[in-house]
């Protein structure tokens, strides 16, 4: 009876761990930033397009003119999107579809669309987005830790 109970508990714990691991993978959120900007690579310049529309699941998430940046959020380790590119004013529209694998550890990924469209190596058009904290964020905040409103001013250095 005791062995059966231990086995049941062990199985339950293993199932919970398995679900938790699955959630860690499928629920990992990322933000992808789409840049329609000129790209310098190997001494060559790849010019930004006149207009790029980014679609995710047939829904437009960004409409980028030259020099613009758009973004889309998603969960999981790969991201599929479609591009409708107009390279020059009054030019013809070209359609592209991509599925990109995303590094697990990176919250934000910048994709340079002109580089992606030109089929350049990944390191040319993909980079990590590193947010820069603003001056306001650098200032410490006051923490109120109980209902008597006693702020820990000394500890927080306020």
Partner 1 sequence: MNTKKSSAPKRALTFLSNSAVPLMFIIIIAICIPISGFSPTFLLNEVMTRLSRNAFLILSLLIPIMAGMGLNFGMTLGAMAAEIALIFVTDWQIWGIPGIVLAMILSIPLSVILGILCGKILNAAQGREMITSYIISFFMNGVYQLIVLYMMGSLIPILHGNIELPRGYGVRSSVDLTNIRKTLDNLLAINIAGVRIPVATLLIIALMCLIIVWFRRTKLGQDMRAVGQDMEVARDAGINVERTRLISIVISTVLAGIGMVIYLQNMGDMATYSSHSQIGMFCIAALLVGGASVDRASIGNVFLGVILFHTLFILAPSAGAKITGNEVVGEYFRVFVSYGVITVALVMYETRKRRAKARAAQQLRQEQEVEK
- Interface positions with partner 1 (CB under 8 A): 16, 19-20, 22-24, 26-30, 73, 75, 107, 131, 133, 137-147, 152, 155-157
Reading the block at residue 40, the tokens are 């310098």
Give the H/E segment covering residue 22.
Answer: helix 2-26
Nearest to partner 1 of 33, 41 (CB atom): 33
Nearest 5°: the CA angle 31, 133, 100 is: 20
Q: 139 with 116: CB under 8 angstroms?
A: no
Rounded to the nearest whole angstrom, what is the least distance from the CB of residue 122 to partner 1 in the complex? 22
Rounded to the nearest whole angstrom, what is the least distance from the CB of residue 80 to partner 1 in the complex? 17
Pair type for strands 59-65 and 69-75: unpaired
Nearest to partner 1 of 88, 152 (CB atom): 152
Nearest to partner 1 of 59, 140 (CB atom): 140
């Amino acid at each position: 009876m005791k062995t059966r109970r231990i086995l049941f508990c062990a199985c339950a714990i293993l199932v919970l761990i398995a679900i938790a691991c699955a959630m860690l993978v499928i629920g990992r959120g990322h933000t992808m930033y789409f840049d329609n900007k000129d790209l310098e690579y190997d001494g060559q310049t790849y010019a930004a397009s006149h207009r790029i529309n980014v679609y995710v699941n047939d829904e437009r998430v960004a409409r980028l003119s030259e020099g613009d940046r758009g973004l889309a959020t998603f969960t999981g380790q790969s991201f599929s999107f479609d591009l409708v590119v107009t390279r020059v004013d009054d030019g013809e529209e070209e359609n592209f579809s991509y599925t990109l694998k995303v590094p697990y550890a990176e919250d934000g990924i910048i994709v340079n669309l002109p580089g992606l469209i030109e089929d350049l190596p990944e390191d040319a058009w993909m980079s990590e987005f590193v947010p820069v904290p603003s001056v306001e964020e650098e200032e410490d905040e006051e923490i109120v830790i109980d209902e008597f409103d006693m702020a820990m001013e000394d500890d927080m250095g306020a």
